Amino acid sequence: MDKAKISGERALEFVKQFEHIREAGTAGERSAAEKIRGYLENQVLGSIVCAGADGRAKEDQASGIVIRQEPFSFIEQEIQEARLIVTEPYEKEYTVTGCGGCGSTPPEGVEAPFLYVENSDEISLSYARGRIVLINGIVRRELYRELVRAGAAGFVMLSGTPLDEGEDLRPARRKVRGLEETPIQGVTVHYKDAAELVEQGASRARLVLRQRQVTRTSQNLVVRIQGTDRAQEILTVSAHYDSVPEGPGAYDNMAGAAIVMELCRYFTLHRPRRTMEFLWFGAEEKGLLGSLDYVCRHREELAAHRFNMNVDLAGQTVGGTVIGLAGEPEVCRILQAYAREAGMGVSFKNQIWGSDSNSFAWKGIPAMTLNRDGFGMHTRHDTVDLLSAWSLERSCRLLAMIAERLAQAEVFPFDRKVPKKFLEELEQYFEK
Residues 6+ apart with CB under 8 A from 170: 95, 97, 190
pLDDT at 60: 52
Domains of the chain: 3-64+226-429 (3.40.630.10), 76-212 (3.50.30.30)
Are 422 and 368 within 8 A, CB to CB? no
Distances (CA, A) of 178 to 81, 343, 366: 22, 43, 25
pLDDT at 46: 76
Alpha carbons 376 and 288: distance in angstroms, whole number = 20
Residue 332 half-sphere exposure toward CB, CA atoms < 13 A: 15
pLDDT at 178: 85
Are 367 and 358 within 8 A, CB to CB? yes
Alpha carbons 168 and 172: distance in angstroms, whole number = 9
Q: Which residue pairs from 198-204 have beta carbons closer than 8 angstroms and sit at least 24 positions apart in sequence?
A: 198/116, 198/134, 200/86, 200/90, 201/89, 202/86, 202/88, 202/89, 202/90, 202/114, 203/88, 203/89, 203/113, 203/114, 204/86, 204/87, 204/88, 204/111, 204/112, 204/113, 204/114
pLDDT in tens, 267-289: 999 999 999 999 999 999 999 99
Closest CA to 287 of 34, 101, 128: 101
Residues of the chain with pLDDT under 50: 49-56
